[in-house]
Amino acid sequence: MINHFKGGIHPPESKLTAGLPTIDMPVPKQVVIPMSQHIGAPCEPVVKKGDHVKVGTLIGDSSARVTCPIYSSVSGTVKAIQPILTAAGTEMTSIVIETDGEQTLEEGFGPVEAETKEEKLEAIKRSGLVGLGGAGFPTWFKLTPPPNEPFDILLINGAECEPYITSDYREMKENPRMIMEGIMRVLDITGIEKALIGIEDNKRDAIEDLIALDPAYDRIKVISLKTRYPQGAEKQLIYALTGRKVPPGKLPSSVGCLVLSISTVSFIESYFRTGIPLVKRRITVSGGAVANPGNIRVCIGTSLQDVFDFCGGFKEEPRKIIMGGPMMGVAQFSMQNSILKQTNALLALTEDEINTQKESPCIRCGRCVNACPMNLLPLQMNALIVKGRFEAAEKYHVRDCIECGCCSYVCPASRHLVQSFRYGKAELALIAKAKQAAAKGGA
Amino acid sequence: MDLRLIGSSSPHIKDKVTTSRVMLDVIIALLPAALMGVILFGWRALVNIAISIAACVLGEYIWNRAVKKPQTIHDCSAIVTGLLLAMTVSPRTPFWMLIIGGLFAIIIVKQLFGGIGMNFLNPALAARAMMMASWPAQMTAWQAPNWMSAMSTEGLTVAVDSVSSATPLALQSLIISNGGVTSAQLPSYKDLFLGNVMGSIGETCALALLIGGIYLIIRKIISWEIPVLFAVSSMVLSLALGLDPLFNLLSGGLMIGAIFMATDYTTSPMTFKARCIYAIGCGLLTVVIRYFGGYPEGVSYAILLMNLVVPLLDKAFIPKSFGTLIEKKGEAAK
């Protein structure tokens, strides 16, 4: 029944915070909320400098088709609206709010009243929910499949295969019923028959907790997966749970699958009960440099500095601050960057924890080939891309790379494989764009 | 705290395996056979190994200095080349010849093509072939191992003179060319397995090579398919040609070639299917050369020839991305 994807790695799990219950972080003095925390069109600010906002006040919205509204996570005063350099290296309009510490809730929140499917989807859109697992795809959009590709199964991603991160695990330990109710609600909205929850077998107690609830939810099945990175990557998870393979360049809907994360479905349920949009989330703060690692609930927009200060600062010098996991997370260069909707972890890693090995020539050992879960030839693609031969690299399917990092993790020469693939993909996108423009100009 | 943060691309962690660690594992795996070489052929074998390694490492050091490239001797790959070169030639090889061979392997075969990972021929084997072509007499002057009993030595001397005594494969060659009629006796499987025969320093003891091979497979430095398919295909063809398959597996350079030479990363293919074809090619060519060729031994030429095919094999077997097959089926259905 359970399929094992080819390749993958098993890095040290380092789940230091697994046993630590979630604690709420007090409201910081200031939050900075960027207008793009999702895949799709960025929002426009709908408040002005000097405006007073409450928790849950709409502050960013857009009329574009694929987007997701943004709400204030605090009560206070808008101090500035200005472009701020984000971790992605681009400037993004952000709203700076000075908090008053009252955390007054915006009026009018209550259980969501929605009858039809359209109303319910609209409600989810208004909740500001994006996938809480990492990429930040707007959830409402995900729930709307293309008309010719209907869903027939709901898959819940509880793999949490990245080292260190325990935020989904804590959700399973603390709110198992909320997760189950959320799944039932999504099944109800989408009309899907059944759901499978996939959880890596290193979280045995969470699996047991959910199975213990099972009889009440006979449309939901909990499945234990082998602990192997990247078990939680969408295509690999779909294969493990259903045996279906998502073709290159296609979405899970092409094989009838809807994939949501544990925390995402749990939020859907809490939103339908309270009507309070996405303004807070749980993150795992961990790594060898953090004095007091933990799972903490923070206001979206809180600066990294404030989060680390709350966790007792650093006991050792951190060399890398990472938003997300150590395999796919983004290294931060400023402690002023904000926690976003899709941030599931904040790591401060020491010199010993990170890879500091210098790049040396490829010895063609083939470890990357064995580790690649997408069946690619990383060494070959890398050799072509460093020579600037992007179109040749495309023949080796570089565009199908999911950037999981397994190849770089196992490379004895510490080649910057994933980095080169990102570069190659970006160059290929430019080439395609130029070709399109040329074709248009010719016509 | 004033933070000095590194802002590089993910992934941020890596396992502990490095190029030098991989090379160290290969060296460790070669040690049993090298040790047997010293036991069987005496101090001369040890000096040969030391000279060959020194020539290779020094050659790489001087080359990098001369062309102002970053120093690479710490990756230990030159040590592996030196060790392999010494182990694939006779213990009576002159020192100066080893030095020329080592420099040829490193500078001509490896560095001129771009250094580690870029050479298209196995450096040690290419050097061996060059030495074989340049100094055939010295390269085939063998030495009886210390263990060899008086009786079996006597058996050998019937067929050949005592200066260039015969290796097991030379005897086989003699038997083939005489149509099976000769007074020469092939050594026993036990002597072959333990290395109690004439030959290169590192090739005679099948047992020691097997231990090294198992170590490499357990440590996941090499995969099983190249050595196993190399051995199996050579045995199958031996059988088909009426030769003794086990004798052909255990004698000459087949074991060291299959385990340590054909599995060289740079000169073997990247994907499973291509590796299988490559290994079978090595095995078949070895026996073809042994049976039909003028040389009694064919392992090194078989591997060198297959090395040349590797770029083609790599191009021919570009794997499909995960999920691609389904798409094709879907299209066919439409």
CB atoms within 10 A of CB A23: 12
Q: Is the pLDDT of residue B155 over 50?
A: no
Shortest CA distance from B4: residue in chain A = A319
Provide the pLDDT for residue B295. 82
Tally A–B CB contacts below 8 A: 167
CA A81 to chain CA centroid, nearest Å: 26
Mean pLDDT of A136-157: 90
The pLDDT of residue B163 is: 36
Q: Cα–Cα–Cα angle for A227, A232, A234, nearest 5°?
A: 145
The CB density around residue A175, as the number of other CB atoms within 10 Å, is 18
Work out the average pLDDT over B232-250.
94
Q: How many CB atoms lie within 10 A of CB B305?
A: 16
pLDDT tens digits for range A30-66: 999 999 988 889 999 999 999 999 999 999 999 998 8
What is the band of A435 on the pLDDT scale with cuts at 50, 70, 90? very high
- Exposure b/e, A370-407, CB count within 10 A at least 16 = b: bbbbbbbbbbbbbbbbeeeebeebbebbbbbbbbbbbb
Least confident residue range of B9-13, B158-162, B227-231: B158-162
User: A214 pLDDT exceeds 70?
Assistant: no
For B2, nearest residue in chain A (alpha carbons): A317
* Chain A residues with CB-CB distance to B314 below 8 A: 380
Structure-block tokens of residue B276: 């299988």
Average pLDDT rounded to a whole number, residues A207-233: 89
| Distance, CA of A1 to CA of A409 (rounded, Å) | 29
Beta strands A58-61; A91-99: pairing state: unpaired
Q: Poorest-confidence range of A13-17, A136-140, B158-162?
A: B158-162
Confidence at residue B172, expressed as pLDDT on a 0 to 100 scale: 83
pLDDT at A213: 85
Contact check, Cβ <8 Å, A11/B323: no
With a CB cutoff of 8 Å and minimum separation 6, the contacts of B8 are A320, A331, A416, A419
Q: Considering only CB atoms, which chain A residues are within 8 Å of B324?
A: 247-248
Would the pLDDT of A246 be above 50?
yes
Listed in sequence order, the residues at least 6 apart from A286 whose beta carbon sits closer than 8 Å to its beta carbon are A14, A16, A17, A164, A165, A166, A293, A294, A345, A346, A347, A348
- For A158-200, write each residue's pLDDT tens digit: 999 999 999 999 999 999 999 999 999 999 999 999 999 999 9
Tokens of B120: 């298209």
Residues B319, A330: C-beta atoms closer than 8 Å: no
Instruction: Report the pLDDT value the prediction gives residue B93, as an integer from 0 to 100.
Output: 94
Summarize the confidence of residues A416-422 as an average pLDDT.
Answer: 96
Q: Which stretch of A210-214, A295-299, A357-361, B91-95 has the lowest confidence by average pLDDT?
A: A210-214
Nearest CB neighbour to B10, from listed A163, A321, A418: A418
CA–CA distance, B307 with B316 (Å, rounded to integer) = 15
CB-based contact A54:A205 (threshold 8 Å): no
Residue B178 pLDDT > 80, yes or no?
no
- Show residues of chain B in contact with A400, CB under 8 Å: 321-322
pLDDT computed for residue B158 by the predictor? 40
Nearest CB neighbour to B13, from listed A354, A364, A367: A354
Percentage above 70 pLDDT, chain A: 99
Q: How close, in Å, is residue A397 to chain B by CA atoms?
A: 7
Mean pLDDT for A391-404 is 95
Q: Is A8 on the interface with B (CB under 8 A)?
A: no
- Asked if A329 reaches chain B (Cβ–Cβ under 8 Å), the answer is yes
| A125 φ/ψ sector (left φ>0, alpha ψ -120 to 50, else beta) | alpha
Residue of B nearest to A335 (CA): B3
Three-state secondary structure string covering chain A:
CCCCCCCCECCCCCCCCCCCCCEECCCCCEEEEECCCCCCCCCEECCCCCCEECECCEEEECCCCCCCCEECCCCEEEEEEEEEECCCCCEEEEEEEEECCCCCECCCCCCCCCCCHHHHHHHHHHCCCECCCCCCCEHHHHCCCCCCCCCCEEEEEECCCCCCCCHHHHHHHHCHHHHHHHHHHHHHHHCCCEEEEEEEHHHHHHHHHHHHHHHHCCCEEEEEECCCECCCCHHHHHHHHHCCCCCCCCCHHHHCEEEEEHHHHHHHHHHHHHCCCCCEEEEEEECCCECCCEEEEEECCCEHHHHHHHCCCECCCCCEEEECCCCCCEEECCCCCECCCCCCEEEEECCCCCCCCCCCCCCCCCHHHHHCCCCCCHHHHHHHHHCCCHHHHHHCCHHHCCCCCHHHHHCCCCCCHHHHHHHHHHHHHHHHHHHHHHHHHHC
Could you identify the residue written with the tokens 């046993």? A19
Q: Which two tokens stand for residue B49?
A: 């190994």
- What ipTM does this complex have? 0.90
pLDDT value at B12 more than 90: yes
**Nearest Cα residue in chain A from B314:** A380
Which residues in chain A have their CB less than 8 angstroms from residue B1's CB? 313-314, 317
Q: What is the pLDDT of residue B170?
A: 83
Torsion angle in degrees (nearest 10) through CA of B215, B218, B219, B222: 80
Q: Do B326 and A362 lie within an 8 Å CB cutoff?
A: no
Higher pLDDT pick, B110 / B323 = B110
Residue B156 has pLDDT above 70, yes or no: no
For residue B95, name the pLDDT band (cuts at 50, 70, 90).
very high
Asked if the peptide bond before residue B11 counts as cis, ω within 30 degrees of 0, the response is: yes
Beta carbons of A258 and A137 less than 8 angstroms apart: no
Predicted local distance difference test score (pLDDT) of residue B267: 95
Contact state of B9 with A365 under an 8 Å Cβ cutoff: no
Q: Are A68 and A129 in contact (CB under 8 A)?
A: yes
Interface test with B, best of A365, A398, A418 (most B CBs within 10 A): A365
Asked if pLDDT for residue B160 goes beyond 50, the answer is: no
Q: Name all contacts of A222-226 with Cβ < 8 Å and 24+ positions apart.
A: A222/A196, A222/A197, A223/A1, A223/A2, A223/A196, A223/A197, A223/A198, A223/A199, A224/A2, A224/A199, A224/A200, A225/A2, A225/A159, A225/A198, A225/A199, A225/A200, A225/A201, A226/A2, A226/A4, A226/A200, A226/A201
- Shortest Cα–Cα distance, B230 to chain A (Å): 19
* Strands A280-286, A257-261: pairing kind: unpaired
Residue B165 has pLDDT above 90, yes or no: no
Contact A245 B265 (CB under 8 A): no
Report whether pLDDT(B150) > 70: no
The answer, yes or no, to whether residue B3 has pLDDT greater than 50, is yes
Residue B164: per-residue pLDDT: 43
Q: Which residue of A229, A255, A364, A394 to mutate against B (max B Cβ within 10 Å)? A: A364
**Subunit contact A332:B17, Cβ cutoff 8 A:** no
Instruction: With CB atoms and an 8 Å threshold, state whether B15 touches A410.
Output: yes
